[in-house]
A and B are shown apart, each in its own frame.
Chain A
Amino acid sequence: MAYRANALICTCTNCISNGSLQIKDALEAEIEGRGLQDDVLVVPTGASGLCVRGPILLVQPDGIFYQRLRTEDIPYLVEEHLLKGRPVRSLMYVPPGEEVPIPELRDIPFFKDQRLVALRNRGMIDPEKIDEYIARDGYRALAKALTSMSPNDVITSVKKAGLRGRGGAGFPTG
């Protein structure tokens, strides 16, 4: 299917407790009501980290970040942004103490300086659809380790990565 927009709605525990599942239902109903179901895909995602401003919605490919949504905001948002291409300023993120909204996620200070490594799929894929994980290179490292690396190569590269974890105490892996 050739969509032209993805509406990524955060369905982490925090956003759900703030009503994000109702937002998702309202989005789907409004999109369907406008006949946009072949144009716009609604995707439930995991947390992006700014759930204090939840429920959160990211519209791609535009990169527009919406926050503190209520179900009654949805008809207007769908008509303006998803039908007419006009992002809705009143639903965007405004930094504390400021007045001007920041439309795009990548310009928001909280996200701007993050360099995602292990969490690069956060907020980008539906955690219940394994194909989406695979499309973002999921399991590739495992496939590479099993088919083209020796056990020693694997241990060396895990050590070199400096990855820590194992039970949360920060022990080095490998």
Chain B
Amino acid sequence: MPKMKPDDLERIGEKIKRTMLLREGEGRAKVIVHMGTCGIAAGARAVMKAVMDEIEKRNIDDVIVTISSCAGLCSREPMITVELQGEPAVKYVDLTPEKARQILVEHALGGKIVTEYALAAGSERSI
């Protein structure tokens, strides 16, 4: 193995930064895909795969994707919740993989709520 230099530490850490961020449970933004039976039946898995694929393609390393159970609005599944640090969570309904990609780019990355697909701002506790 060639001799390591201090700069190599940065490079090695960078490679798995996204995994470590997930493990620490913190990201600048969090995308929660609702994966109750209702969500899965309505296509939540395809929605989640689309979000993960977009993250991979764009090499985004400060957004984490996770799942949660049924949000209690089964007729509007698939749903996702987007949480930006320090801002109220936003729930999106009636999603398709394409809509989810758009939300990731415009809201999670761009910070702009996609009002067209949004249900309401706030988590279950606050709405």
Contact = CB atoms under 8 A, between A and B. Distances in A.
Interface of A: 1-6, 8, 39, 41, 43, 60-63, 83-86, 124, 131-132, 134-140, 143, 146-147
B22 A6 contact: yes
Contact count band on B: 20 to 34
B108 interface: no
Given A84-B35, A134-B12, A2 B18 contact: yes
B25 A41 contact: no
B9 A140 contact: yes
Interface in B52-76: 52-53, 55-56, 64-69
A84 B41 CA distance: 11
A60 B23 contact: yes
A140 B66 CA distance: 30
Given A4-B48, A135-B13, A140-B9, A85 B35 contact: yes
Given A62-B25, A84-B35, A136 B20 contact: yes
Given A85-B69, A139-B9, A143-B9, A4 B20 contact: no
